[in-house]
Amino acid sequence: MDEHMATRPAVELAAAIRAREVSSRELLELYLDRVERLNPPINAVVTLDADRARAAADAADAALARGEDVGPLHGLPVTIKDAIETEGIRSTGGAVELTDHVPTHDAPAVARLKEAGAIVFGKTNAPRWSGDIETFNDIFGGSSNPWNVDHITGGSSGGSAAAVAAGLTSFEIGTDIGGSVRIPSHCCGVFGLKPSFGVVPQRGYLDHVGGGTTDADVNVFGPIARSADDLDLLVDVLASPAPELTPAWRVELPSCEARSLDEFRIGVWFDAPECPLGAEYRAMLGATADALSDAGAKLDEGHPPVDFGEQTALFFRLVGAAVSVSAPDEVAEVMAGSHRSWLRAAEQRAALQGVWAEWFEQYDLLVCPVLAVPPFAHVREGNIMERTVEVDGESRAVGSLISWLGLIGVMGLPSAVPPIGRTAAGLPVGVQLVSPYLHDHRSVRAAKLVGEVTGGYQVPPGF
């Protein structure tokens, strides 16, 4: 089989299977072969379930041969982030406490993929309890960027994005509470979507021992892929109510009919003194804005009238409470705070969500940064709040670099990240395309149009 098949978008792979240009088994064997040959330097795929996947691929091919109705993902071999429960496959959340954890059922999101025809053949690396933008843990070690193995993949869905970029899987599903889909997409040069909060069920999320039975505040599950068309398909497959609500509830996201950038009015927000951008990345964002304007988009420097520092502080407050379940006892209570303080923070969030909703009555999209810098060299000593990196000659706390992501995540808004180019050192970067709540398809359509202007996904050298 043509090696280039492995790096084609998922929608093209699914069409090729349906047209019998390639079989599911052939595509699975291609990915398994590439994992064996190409995965070791990047350590993206950490667990395989090859035998069961082969049986499922053979069954998928036989069903197609019988002329049976098939789903939109029929026969596509995929991997899943190790923080998401997957039946019969070790799923650890990157934590030694779950080293041998093999779930007996799928997370609802994984079940949705399988119902649509996807075949899960492995799991991808994540930091402990998905709590870092460096992807490494004490079970599987660290993952590295396919564009430069000395640099981060981003996190926490770092193995997911690296596997997609390197052509080791058809697509991926990650999680995002503080940027964990968006950061790796930015770092690895692929397309990612943080859906609207609540659109994709997040049961089965392994963020602490015994986790996965309730929803985590701010957190979402979202797709990572090689094209915006993939995201468009996948968000429709994944969008559904929590299992106990399915007898009465339906999720039908609004479509987006825009076909060109000149149909969008876009606000641009690139500068905030609380989280300045690296100079090279800032210049690339400016060039992207110019390119979008040249393509007909109506851009101005408008953004919602909110205080950047206040809103990002709210993000850290609410996420601190959400992740306190995995923290050591001596700090967990401080991180969580009182229930009353959480309720006050939730009221503050609701008021700010109203401000954003009103702003979006005049604008279609907000364009803003992802991580404040391009992917940087590995820094793994200490925790995320203790580590620093040098940005334009200044030492910056690693944890502070996610502020632009928290700004959007705490509002529960959909945000798509397309690649916009590569730095002088050859490392990819992306941009956030934010739309109103539940208008996920608008962000995805914008990502498609931006990708057409900026070049979109490119295969990393050697992959």
DSSP per-residue letters across 20-71: TSS-HHHHHHHHHHHHHHHSTTT--EEEE-HHHHHHHHHHHHHHHHTT----
What's the CA gap between 277 and 431, in Å, rounded?
12
DSSP conformation class of 460: P
Structure tokens at 390: 């040098």
Taking alpha carbons only, the member of 42, 220, 213 closest to residue 140 is 42
What pLDDT does residue 422 have? 98
**Is residue 185 flagged as an active site residue?**
no
| Identity of the residue numbered 51 | D
CATH 3.90.1300.10 positions along the chain are 3-245, 261-454
CA distance 317 to 132: 17
pLDDT value for 330: 86
CATH code of 3-245, in short, is 3.90.1300.10
d(CA 414, CA 412): 7
Mean pLDDT by 10 residues, the chain (463 residues): 95 98 98 98 98 98 96 98 98 98 98 98 98 97 98 98 99 98 98 98 97 96 98 98 95 97 98 98 98 97 97 98 93 94 98 98 98 97 90 96 98 98 98 98 98 97 97
Catalytic residue check, 114: no
Per the rule left: phi > 0, alpha: psi between -120 and 50, beta: everything else, 455 is left
Q: How far is Cα 119 from Cα 237, in angstroms, rounded to an integer? A: 14
Start-to-end CA distance of the chain, whole Å, equals 15
pLDDT tens profile 323-365: 999 999 889 999 999 999 999 999 999 999 999 999 999 999 9
For 166-214, the three-class secondary structure string (H helix, E strand, C coil) is CCCCCCEEEEECCCCCHHHHHHHCCEEEECCCCCCCCCCECCCCCCCCC
Amino acid at 225: A
pLDDT score for 161: 99
Point out the catalytic residue in the list 23, 24, 81, 240: 81
How far apart are alpha carbons 16 and 329 in whole angstroms? 52
Residue 18 is predicted with a pLDDT of 97
pTM higher than 0.95 for the full model? yes
> Residue 153's pLDDT is what?
98
Q: Which residues, other chains included, contact 267 with Cβ-Cβ below 8 Å and sequence gap of 6+? A: 299, 300, 301, 302, 303, 304, 359, 363, 365, 366, 367
**Closest by Cα among 409, 396, 406 to 437:** 409
The CA-based dihedral angle spanning residues 133, 232, 315, 96, taken in that order and rounded to the nearest 10 degrees: -40
Query: Per CATH, is 261-454 categorized as 3.90.1300.10?
Result: yes
Please give the Cα distance from 127 to 135 (Å, whole number): 5
d(CA 141, CA 433): 32
Asked if 83 and 25 touch (Cβ cutoff 8 Å), the reply is: no
Q: Which of 180, 196, 415, 435 is catalytic?
A: 180
**How many of the other CB atoms lie within 10 Å of CB of 176?**
29
146 neighbors 461 (Cβ within 8 angstroms):
no
pLDDT, tens digit, for every residue of 221-240?
A: 999 999 999 999 999 999 99
Q: What is the pLDDT of residue 329?
A: 87
Token representation of residue 360: 């979006």
Examine the residue annotation and report whether 81 is marked as an active-site residue of this protein.
yes
pLDDT of res. 338? 95
Q: Which of 143, 156, 160, 443 is catalytic?
A: 156
pLDDT score at 385: 83
DSSP class per residue in 75-103: T-EEEEETTB--TTS---TT-GGGTT---
- How far is 63 from 117, CA to CA, in rounded Å? 11
The answer to whether 53 touches 77, Cβ cutoff 8 Å, is yes
The predicted structure's pLDDT at residue 23: 98
Rounded CA gap, 22 and 407, in Å?
Answer: 43
* Residue-level pLDDT at 1: 82
With the C-alpha atoms ordered 395, 399, 403, 404, is the resulting torsion angle positive or negative? Answer: positive
- Least Cα distance to 404 among 296, 279, 289, 309 occurs for 309
